[in-house]
């Protein structure tokens, strides 16, 4: 597909809008064929919530970075219009708690609502039930999201399926790896706790006895030109790499 109808999300929108027009693409707000995500990972996550199901095109902001020739905004938009960007389908995590259903591209985090009070919980998978775990909470991450918060807790990343890591538990608990099709249920034994997904400022409060089921969903996030976010040749304005790995 060669997308022509493009919506724009992120920061420095005047620059992004002008570039879309210069590239000969049609700027739209309704029924886009692709969404230019002008910013970093956070912009991509927000755009996925705002435009679910529409392919996302990440592009970093030139004023904050020294971008390699391939990832200048003009070059990205030219390849978009030519249908030449790589296409990735990233699995989404789904958390179900009562009537609430949350989708996440990076991670779903269950954490203590009050930093002074640990949360007590039990985790259940097809393999069995954990003992009661006391700590700051649980981080569930997709492979795409596992280089963020999950990695800082688990000291590893996820290659396939999704990962579950237990944050600051009083007894060491090994991270769990689950395959597509598997799920984990977390039961709050003592809260209060809250459930957050990606960088969404909204959260769901969990009371004692709440059960959250987390699994990979059926839907994926389509990203065109994902290499723009992990490029080793692009540099932040301070000269450091965007990709820590
Ligand atoms: Zn680059």
Q: Which CATH fold would you assign to the domain 92-218?
A: Tumour Suppressor Smad4 (2.60.200)
The two three-digit tokens of residue 109, written as one number: 């985090």
- How far does residue 57's CA lie from ligand 1's centre (Å)? 14
Q: Which pLDDT score is estimated for 16?
A: 97
pLDDT digits (tens, 9 = 90+) for 188-221: 999 999 999 999 999 999 999 999 999 999 999 9
Q: What percent of the chain has pLDDT over 90?
A: 90
126 CB-near residues (< 8 Å, 6+ apart):
182
Superfamily, domain 5-86+225-236:
Probable inorganic polyphosphate/atp-NAD kinase; domain 1 (3.40.50.10330)
- How far does residue 24's CA lie from ligand 1's centre (Å)? 23
Q: What percent of the chain has pLDDT over 70?
A: 99
- How far does residue 139's CA lie from ligand 1's centre (Å)? 30
- How far does residue 186's CA lie from ligand 1's centre (Å)? 40
Domain ranges of the chain: 5-86+225-236, 92-218
- How far does residue 34's CA lie from ligand 1's centre (Å)? 20
Q: What is the pTM of this model?
A: 0.93
- How far does residue 60's CA lie from ligand 1's centre (Å)? 9
pLDDT digits (tens, 9 = 90+) for 60-95: 999 999 999 999 999 999 999 999 999 999 999 999
């Amino acid at each position: 597909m060669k997308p022509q109808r493009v919506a724009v999300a992120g920061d420095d929108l005047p620059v992004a809008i002008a570039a879309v027009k210069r590239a000969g693409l049609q700027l739209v707000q309704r029924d886009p064929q692709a969404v230019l995500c002008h910013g970093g990972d956070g912009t991509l996550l927000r755009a996925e919530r705002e435009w679910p199901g529409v392919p996302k095109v990440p592009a970093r902001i030139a004023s904050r970075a020294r971008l390699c020739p391939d990832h200048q905004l003009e070059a990205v938009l030219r390849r978009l219009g030519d249908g030449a960007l790589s296409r990735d389908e990233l699995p989404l995590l789904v958390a179900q708690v009562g009537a609430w259903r949350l989708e996440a591209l990076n991670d779903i985090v269950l954490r203590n609502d009050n930093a002074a009070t640990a949360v007590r919980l039990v985790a259940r998978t097809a393999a069995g039930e954990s003992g009661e775990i006391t700590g700051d909470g649980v981080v569930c991450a997709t492979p795409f999201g596992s280089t963020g918060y999950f990695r800082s807790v688990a000291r590893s990343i996820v290659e396939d399926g999704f990962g579950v890591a237990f944050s600051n538990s009083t007894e060491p608990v090994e991270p769990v790896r689950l395959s597509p099709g598997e799920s984990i249920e977390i039961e709050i034994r003592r809260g209060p706790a809250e459930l957050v997904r990606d960088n969404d400022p909204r959260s769901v409060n969990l009371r004692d006895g709440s059960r959250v089921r987390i699994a990979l969903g059926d839907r994926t996030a389509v990203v065109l030109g994902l290499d723009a976010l992990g490029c080793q040749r692009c540099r932040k304005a301070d000269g450091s790499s965007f990709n820590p790995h």
